[in-house]
Amino acid sequence: MASRKFFVGGNWKMNGDRESIGSLVQVLNNGEFNPTETEVVVAPPMLYVGLVQQSLRPEIAVSVQTCHAAAKGAFTGEISPQMALDVGAQWAIIGHSERRNVFGESDALIAQKVKFALESGLKVMFCIGELLEQREAGLTSEVVIRQMEEVRNAISLAAWQNVVVAYEPVWAIGTGKTATPEQAQEVHHQLREWMAAQLSAELASVTRIIYGGSVNANNCRDLAKQEDIDGFLVGGASLKPDFITIINAQS
Ligand code: PEP
């Protein structure tokens, strides 16, 4: 593998309360991992981002789960990248399948959000992935490449250095159905080839492409062995001590 640092993100979604989040932070603070080998980021629910940032060990960064494409204003319920940065977050997850499919965010809106978050100084886990019917219709590459193209058209080449691409087949998220290592590797490889052709050979070799979709303590090692899988975005298992095992999947 090229010199891509293994990356593991934990997406806590809309789960937890002060007590359970406090316990999870303790698990993370006591868990063993090598921060020079693996970059770890967790995304608590918005209301807890500041609290987690203050109590979490500094080797683990904090992310928001989405943020709007404006600094402030009449956007009820939204938060801005500036607010995320103000409470200590360094990352944003943008384009998660639940934002796309439950809240109806379009490729175009997601591209604007990625652009604005990067311009504001956040790093971005940019999520892409196909629905089951799209996979079954043989449209996987077309769908993920269209999602990538929207962002390519919106951001500068230089901005890609602050992007981690998360390939998350929608049929594998929260379903217990993981893509096989070969299925995931195939898409990751296509994405890297697309980057080499559409961005640059350099960006294709350094950009992390992580996999998400029912990753757990049992399947993470086989997935991590694939050449183009540079880490994971983890939902359900990021709420459990299993997350420490996943962080160490490559060591
Ligand atoms: C996710 O929400 O990004 C995710 C991959 O969830 P899960 O691991 O629960 O499938």
Per-residue model confidence as pLDDT tens digits over 136-147? 999 999 999 999
User: Whole-model pTM?
Assistant: 0.97
Contacts of 26 (CB under 8 A, 6+ apart): none
**Domain boundaries defined on the chain:** 6-247
- Is the shortest distance between the CB of 168 and ligand 1 below 6 Å? yes
Quick one: residue 90, left, alpha or beta (phi over 0 = left, psi -120 to 50 = alpha)?
A: alpha
Q: Which atom of ligand 1 sits closest to the CA of residue 212?
A: 5
- Is the shortest distance between the CB of 81 and ligand 1 below 6 Å? no
Active site members: 96, 168
E strands, 107-202, in order? 123-128, 163-167
Q: What's the average model confidence in pLDDT over 95-113?
A: 97
- Is the shortest distance between the CB of 250 and ligand 1 below 6 Å? no
Q: What are the φ/ψ torsions at residue 48 (nearest 5 degrees)?
A: -105, 0
Which residue owns the Cα nearest ligand 1 atom 8?
A: 235
Which residue owns the Cα nearest ligand 1 atom 7?
A: 235
Return the SS3 of 91. Answer: strand
- Is the shortest distance between the CB of 214 and ligand 1 below 6 Å? yes
Distance from CA of residue 219 to its chain's centroid? 18
Q: What is the mean pLDDT of the chain?
A: 97
What would the pLDDT profile of 146-199 be if each residue is shown by its tens digit? 999 999 999 999 999 999 999 999 999 989 888 999 999 999 999 999 999 999
Tell me the C-alpha distance between 168 and 140, whole Å.
11
74: CA distance to ligand 1 center in Å? Answer: 31
Residue 19 burial (10 A CB sphere; 0-12, 13-18, 19+)? exposed
What separation in angstroms does the CA of 203 have from each of 5, 71, 152, 160? 14, 28, 12, 7
The domain defined by 6-247 carries CATH number 3.20.20.70: yes
- Is the pLDDT confidence value at 100 over 80? yes
What would the pLDDT profile of 45-90 be if each residue is shown by its tens digit? 999 999 999 999 999 999 999 999 999 999 999 999 999 999 999 9
